[in-house]
Amino acid sequence: MSNATLERTSDLSTRRLAGIAALVAAAVFVLWGLVAPASTPGRILRVMFTKSALSATLRLSVPIAFAALGGIFAEKSGVINIGLEGLLIISAFTGVYATDVTGDIWLGLLIGVVSSVLLAALFAVVCIEFRADQIIAGLAVWLIALGLAPFASQVIYGGPNTASVETFNTITIPGLAGIPFFGALFDASPMVYLMFVATVASWYTLNRTSFGRWVIASGENPKALDTAGVDVTRVRYAAVLISGLLAGIGGAALSLSLGQFVGNGQTMVNGKGFIAIVAYLFGNYNPVGALLSTFLFAGLDALQLRLQAAAIIAVPQSLVRTIPYVAVIVVLALFGKTRLPEAAGEHYESGEDR
């Protein structure tokens, strides 16, 4: 065995050891909680596995999961879309505004999505047609939305916050909604159901359709795709527009679930688009993986709020609030395995004369 391989194995096994240690710690924690329900772990488990915690997780997941799905499409095709946050912001505002004007929440959702697709289209043109740096253009998308949405609100509503509009009604499936804990899955906003549908549809599209294979090829080996006679540019355009579509649903769902757009500071989106990037990287570009890692983050966020309220662990509340972020970093370091698409971030120029 050469030196290099030896180091590699030992490096891997350190990480594996740390991973196993973390898993054992988690198992001990759960066991302790089960054996002694009055102890701190027992109380944490009790607030964790409630129907209300699960519904909170699902609601908190919606914007993150949609943005993550959108990010997967764009990045799989070779265009790193770091502007997901901006797409969420613009659709969150437009969704509320359109609902306010038309009086129809579904039309509002649609128009919100359209605005996000348009911004994504601008991003696509800049990156694909004019070969701009994808990271810089992505940041521009974010900054444009961060400036534009509160500004539009200022013009229309006289302040960075919009008026209140109606919200989505909860869809309750009788009977199933009564199940403890899992009942939350059958007693949720239509956007939650749509999140599951979109995840499955994204997975199917990427893995079972020829368009999905084109997207993957366009990100891994665009030359091969070009040689096979598929227009790489068109595939990338389509993928970025899909990312705009999905992120748009997420953003509009966020603001329309709450009935108002708040445009101060980081706006009500408050970094969810960036969390989404972490979620899909952590899920290794698999839509289902991205959804699960979103659940991890959102679940910890929901838990964090409950730990604060019930004052279960005796640490300052500002530290309790960091639990989701710390946990995601730890899990990412120990179990994360992300392989970027080969050609992600690179511009592809077909050899053809046009």
Partner 1 sequence: MNVDRRTLIKATGAAGIAGLAGCTGGPTEGGDSGSNDSGGSGGNDSSGSGNESTDGGSESGGSSDINVGMIYATGGLGDGSFNDQAQTGVQQASEEFGVSSNDVQPSEVTEFQTFQQQFAQGGEYDLICCIGFLQAEALAETSQDYPEQNFMIVDSVVEQSNVASYTFGENEGSFLVGQMAGLLTQQEFSAGAGQTSPDQTTVGFVGGVEGDLIGKFEAGYRAGVAEASEDIEVQVSYVGNFNDVQAGNEAATAMYNDGADIVYHAAGNAGTGVFQAAQEAGKFAIGVDQDQSLTKSGYADVILASMVKRVDTAVYTSIENVVNDSFNGGSVTTLGLEQEGVAAVYGDQIGSEIPEDVTSAVSESRQAIIDGNIEVPADPSNL
The 8-class DSSP code of residue 168 comes to: P
As given in the structure block, the two tokens for residue 61 are: 């997941």
| Site size for partner 1 (CB under 8 A) | 58
Assess 169 for contact with partner 1 (CB under 8 A): no
Tell me which stretch binds partner 1 (CB under 8 A): 97-105, 154-162, 200-208, 242-250. 154-162
Question: In terms of Cα–Cα distance, which of 146, 147, 83 is closest to 117?
Answer: 83
Rule CB under 8 A: choose which of 296, 302, 328, 343 binds partner 1.
302
| Minimum distance, C-beta of residue 27 to partner 1, in the bound complex (Å) | 26
Is residue 171 within a helix (H) or strand (E), and if so which, with residue range? strand 171-172
Rule CB under 8 A: choose which of 94, 99, 161, 202 binds partner 1.
161
- Calpha distance 162→97 (Å, rounded): 8
Tokens 């579904």 belong to residue: 106
Assess 179 for contact with partner 1 (CB under 8 A): no
Q: Select 57 or 202, whichever has its Cβ closest to partner 1.
A: 57
Assess 351 for contact with partner 1 (CB under 8 A): no
As given in the structure block, the two tokens for residue 253 are: 């769902």
Is residue 188 within a helix (H) or strand (E), and if so which, with residue range? strand 187-188
Is residue 187 within a helix (H) or strand (E), and if so which, with residue range? strand 187-188
- Within 10 Å of residue 231's Cβ, how many Cβ atoms? 15
Contacts made by residues 10-19, CB under 8 angstroms, sequence distance 24+: 15/334, 18/334, 19/334, 19/335
Contacts to partner 1 from residues 11-30, by CB under 8 A = none
Assess 159 for contact with partner 1 (CB under 8 A): yes
Quote the crossing angle between the two packed helices 105-124 and 232-258, to the nearest 10°. Answer: 140
Assess 263 for contact with partner 1 (CB under 8 A): yes
- Partners of residue 255 on adjacent β-strands: none
Amino acid (one-letter) located at 78:
G
Q: Select 133 or 220, whichever has its Cβ closest to partner 1.
A: 133
Assess 134 for contact with partner 1 (CB under 8 A): no
Tell me which stretch binds partner 1 (CB under 8 A): 94-102, 106-114, 287-295, 313-321. 313-321
Assess 294 for contact with partner 1 (CB under 8 A): no
Rule CB under 8 A: choose which of 205, 221, 257, 284 binds partner 1.
257
Q: Under the phi-then-psi rule, with left for phi > 0, alpha for psi from -120 to 50, and beta for the rest, what region is 352?
A: beta
| Minimum distance, C-beta of residue 159 to partner 1, in the bound complex (Å) | 3
Q: Select 154 or 209, whichever has its Cβ closest to partner 1.
A: 154
- Calpha distance 16→315 (Å, rounded): 30
Question: In terms of Cα–Cα distance, which of 254, 255, 93 is closest to 159?
Answer: 93
Contacts to partner 1 from residues 104-133, by CB under 8 A = 126, 130-133
| Residues in contact with 232: Cβ distance below 8 Å, sequence separation at least 6, in sequence order | 78, 218, 222, 225, 226, 348, 350
| Minimum distance, C-beta of residue 116 to partner 1, in the bound complex (Å) | 15
Tell me which stretch binds partner 1 (CB under 8 A): 136-144, 197-205, 222-230, 231-239. 136-144
| Minimum distance, C-beta of residue 330 to partner 1, in the bound complex (Å) | 20
Assess 175 for contact with partner 1 (CB under 8 A): no
Using a 10 angstrom Cβ sphere, with 0-12 exposed, 13-18 middle and 19 or more buried, the burial of residue 68 is buried
Assess 236 for contact with partner 1 (CB under 8 A): no
Binding-site ranges for partner 1 (CB under 8 A)? 47, 50, 52-53, 56, 59-60, 126, 130-133, 136-137, 139-140, 143-148, 150-151, 154, 157-162, 164, 167, 254, 257-260, 262-268, 270, 301-302, 305-306, 308-311, 316-318, 321
